Amino acid sequence: MNLSVDQIALLAQEVEITDPIDWDMLNVDENTSYKLMAISVLEMFQKIEKDQQLVIALASVTKLLVENFVLNLKLETRNVK
Protein backbone atom coordinates (compact mmCIF):
# COMPACT_ATOMS: atom_id res chain seq x y z
CA MET A 1 0.00 0.00 0.00
CA ASN A 2 1.45 3.35 -1.03
CA LEU A 3 0.16 6.35 0.89
CA SER A 4 1.25 9.91 0.32
CA VAL A 5 2.43 12.27 3.05
CA ASP A 6 -0.80 14.23 2.68
CA GLN A 7 -2.93 11.09 3.02
CA ILE A 8 -1.09 9.99 6.17
CA ALA A 9 -1.32 13.48 7.68
CA LEU A 10 -5.07 13.68 6.96
CA LEU A 11 -5.70 10.24 8.44
CA ALA A 12 -3.76 11.18 11.57
CA GLN A 13 -5.72 14.42 11.89
CA GLU A 14 -8.98 12.45 11.83
CA VAL A 15 -8.03 11.03 15.24
CA GLU A 16 -8.30 14.53 16.69
CA ILE A 17 -12.06 14.35 16.30
CA THR A 18 -12.19 12.07 19.37
CA ASP A 19 -8.90 13.11 21.02
CA PRO A 20 -8.34 16.80 20.26
CA ILE A 21 -5.06 18.61 20.75
CA ASP A 22 -5.17 22.14 22.18
CA TRP A 23 -3.27 23.84 19.36
CA ASP A 24 -4.01 27.33 20.74
CA MET A 25 -1.45 26.88 23.51
CA LEU A 26 1.27 25.90 21.02
CA ASN A 27 3.34 28.07 18.73
CA VAL A 28 3.29 25.62 15.80
CA ASP A 29 1.07 25.14 12.79
CA GLU A 30 -1.16 22.07 13.00
CA ASN A 31 -1.05 21.08 9.32
CA THR A 32 2.70 21.61 9.07
CA SER A 33 3.24 19.52 12.20
CA TYR A 34 1.24 16.62 10.80
CA LYS A 35 3.01 16.77 7.45
CA LEU A 36 6.47 16.87 9.06
CA MET A 37 5.64 13.86 11.23
CA ALA A 38 4.18 11.99 8.24
CA ILE A 39 7.37 12.61 6.26
CA SER A 40 9.41 11.31 9.18
CA VAL A 41 7.28 8.17 9.51
CA LEU A 42 7.45 7.44 5.79
CA GLU A 43 11.23 7.83 5.78
CA MET A 44 11.56 5.45 8.73
CA PHE A 45 9.28 2.84 7.17
CA GLN A 46 11.11 2.92 3.86
CA LYS A 47 14.21 1.71 5.72
CA ILE A 48 12.41 -1.26 7.34
CA GLU A 49 11.87 -4.64 5.72
CA LYS A 50 8.28 -5.03 4.47
CA ASP A 51 7.63 -8.05 6.70
CA GLN A 52 8.63 -6.04 9.80
CA GLN A 53 6.62 -2.89 9.09
CA LEU A 54 3.40 -4.06 10.78
CA VAL A 55 5.26 -5.16 13.91
CA ILE A 56 7.08 -1.82 14.10
CA ALA A 57 3.84 0.09 13.49
CA LEU A 58 1.97 -1.76 16.23
CA ALA A 59 4.80 -1.33 18.72
CA SER A 60 5.08 2.38 17.84
CA VAL A 61 1.35 3.00 18.23
CA THR A 62 1.36 1.21 21.58
CA LYS A 63 4.31 3.32 22.78
CA LEU A 64 2.59 6.54 21.71
CA LEU A 65 -0.66 5.53 23.40
CA VAL A 66 1.19 4.82 26.65
CA GLU A 67 3.00 8.18 26.43
CA ASN A 68 -0.30 9.96 25.81
CA PHE A 69 -1.96 8.08 28.68
CA VAL A 70 0.83 9.03 31.11
CA LEU A 71 0.82 12.66 29.93
CA ASN A 72 -2.94 12.88 30.43
CA LEU A 73 -2.62 11.39 33.93
CA LYS A 74 0.06 13.95 34.81
CA LEU A 75 -2.09 16.81 33.50
CA GLU A 76 -5.13 15.58 35.44
CA THR A 77 -3.05 15.31 38.60
CA ARG A 78 -1.85 18.91 38.20
CA ASN A 79 -5.42 20.13 37.63
CA VAL A 80 -6.71 18.39 40.76
CA LYS A 81 -4.22 20.06 43.10
Instruction: Give the largest CA-CA distance in the chain.
Output: 48
pLDDT at 81: 62
Count of the separate structural domains present in the chain: 2
pLDDT at 35: 94
Do 4 and 35 reside in the same domain of the chain?
yes
- At residue 58, the pLDDT reads 92
- pLDDT tens for residues 64-79? 989 989 988 998 888 7
Q: Are both 18 and 55 inside the same structural domain? A: no
Give the Cα separation of 49 and 69 in Å (integer).
Answer: 30
Task: Tell me the C-alpha distance between 8 and 59, whole Å.
Answer: 18
- What's the rounded Cα separation, in Å, for the pair 49 and 57? 12
| Residue range of the domain that includes 57 | 49-81
Residue-wise pLDDT tens digits, 8-52: 999 888 877 777 788 888 899 999 999 999 999 999 989 999 899
**CA dist., res. 46 & res. 21, Å (int):** 28
- The verdict on 57 and 71 lying in the same domain is yes
Global pTM value = 0.71
